[in-house]
Structure 1
């Protein structure tokens, strides 16, 4: 639950190498082109089949920010002015147990940017929301993504299978991150 009356559409988080700002329609082409089958291999959603599907995702994200239930951020790399790196979301803000999700474009993977982005969002959460912990669900086979919560001291708290809309089975391990870490 948000601690104060803030406009999520104006939330911006900066780190040494990144700027995380609310996702908007100016990100449509980048999200559509970079959220591909290789990126989504271990994720619940499938790549959008058209720009219309990506636009729907962005519209839903904006609605979630207006309704204060979802913070959807576009991740930009500072080193190359406004280079798109991916997206991060903090979902179910009305809950005591919100959920974080992240994906990085292929050219931004393996550089520690995922950990940097998740640390930044968790730090923002420590200041802005009241929660017991933040859920971080990830497919068991996704070693790179599992490294992120493990680097933050989180441990597996739950395990379950999840069937994706395109019929794949994900073997989810769910970490719980304390936002003050």
Structure 2
């Protein structure tokens, strides 16, 4: 499947493959605060963001991942990034981050719902894995709204050196 030209539309959002066109927004918005509960660390310089985007594009070319930018459908305003990793496995992993000004408006739930709907149609999987820090209540609610059940709990040190207390949800097909 060709992931580099895929577009997913929802009522309010457009999900399209990540590209260097969004490097400035990603660099500006992927801050220390945003990465508090994430595995990734904020970029130190624009080149770090460019590297991430280029790696994401390679993974998509190889059919390993689908990494998208989240845009408001009407204005094309950049809201964040999401994706599905290990896309060809029986247990792909999904995740999301939004810029701070997009918090609390239902964009994350709408995004993950639309990615799951896409996966239900296009992927052969048993369940989506959705790991989230135990303290990240808004992200936990996303998984729970989609019927996710906690499968495992573990500690994981993120790239900033912080120990995350992860609860991993399974969201069934």
TM bucket, shorter chain: over 0.9
Map 1:24-103 to 2 at 5 A.
Answer: 24-79=19-74, 81-103=75-97
Mapped contact 2:92–2:129 kept (Cα < 8 A)? yes
- Residues in 1 aligned to 2:140 and 2:118: alpha-carbon distance in whole angstroms: 21
Runs of 4+ in structure 1 over 3 Å off: none
Pairwise CA distance, 1:38: 1.0
Pairwise CA distance, 1:164: 1.3
Pairwise CA distance, 1:107: 0.8
Q: Deviations for 1:14-39, whole angstroms, at most 9, x for unmatched residues?
A: 00010000000001000000000111
Alignment equivalent of 2:147, drawn from 147, 150, 153: 153
Q: Deviations for 1:51-97, whole angstroms, at most 9, x for unmatched residues?
A: 00000000000001100000000000124x11000000100012110
The two structures have a TM-score, normalised by structure 2, of 0.98
Unpaired segments ≥5 residues, structure 2: none
Cα RMSD for the two superposed structures: 0.7
Alignment equivalent of 1:166, drawn from 160, 165, 171: 160
